[in-house]
Amino acid sequence: MPEKLRWGIIGTGKMSTLFTRCLAGAKHVRLQAVASRNKEKAAKFAAEFNAPSFYGSYTELIKDKNVDVVYVGTPHTHHRDSVLSALANGKHVLCEKPMGVTLLECNEMIAMARKTNRVLLEAFMYRVHPQTIRLQEVLKSGRIGDIRTIRSAFCYGLFSDSYNVRLDKDLRGGGLYDVGCYCINFSRMVAGAEPTRVEALWKLGEESGVDETLSCIMQFPSGSLAMFDIGIRSTGNSYAEIIGSKGRIIIPNPWKPHPVKSSFHIYAEDKNEEVVINNGGNIYSLEADHLAEVVAGETKPLIPAKDAMNNAIVLEQIWKRIHGA
Ligand SMILES: NC(=O)c1ccc[n+]([C@@H]2O[C@H](COP(=O)([O-])OP(=O)(O)OC[C@H]3O[C@@H](n4cnc5c(N)ncnc54)[C@H](OP(=O)(O)O)[C@@H]3O)[C@@H](O)[C@H]2O)c1
pTM above 0.85, yes or no: yes
Region 186-194: mean pLDDT is: 97
pLDDT at 160: 86
Residue 44's pLDDT band (cuts 50, 70, 90): very high
**Residue 1 confidence (pLDDT):** 63
Residues in the chain: 325
pLDDT band at residue 238 under the 50/70/90 scheme: very high
287 lines ligand 1 (CB under 6 A): no
Those residues whose C-beta lies under 8 Å from the C-beta of residue 221, and which sit 6 or more positions away, are 193, 194, 196
Distance 195 CA to ligand 1 centre (A): 29
Per-residue confidence (pLDDT) for residue 26, from 0 to 100: 96
pLDDT digits (tens, 9 = 90+) for 66-103: 999 999 999 999 999 999 999 999 999 999 999 999 99
pLDDT of 325 strictly over 80: no
- pLDDT of 55 reads 98
Report the pLDDT value the prediction gives residue 161, as an integer from 0 to 100: 81
Among 19, 54, 76, 165, which is best to mutate for testing ligand 1, by the most ligand atoms less than 8 A from CB? 165
β-strands 69-72, 29-35: how paired? unpaired
Report the candidate in 14, 17, 49, 15 with the shortest Cα–Cα distance to residue 33: 49
**Beta-carbon contacts of residue 311 (< 8 Å; ≥ 6 apart):** 98, 122, 181, 184, 185, 188
**Mean pLDDT over the full length of the chain:** 97
What domains can be seen in the chain, in order of their start residue? 5-125 (3.40.50.720), 130-280 (3.30.360.10)
The pLDDT tens digits for 127-152 are 999 999 999 999 999 999 999 999 99
Atom 8 (ligand 1) nearest CA: 15
Q: Which ligand 1 atom lies nearest to the CA of residue 168?
A: 32
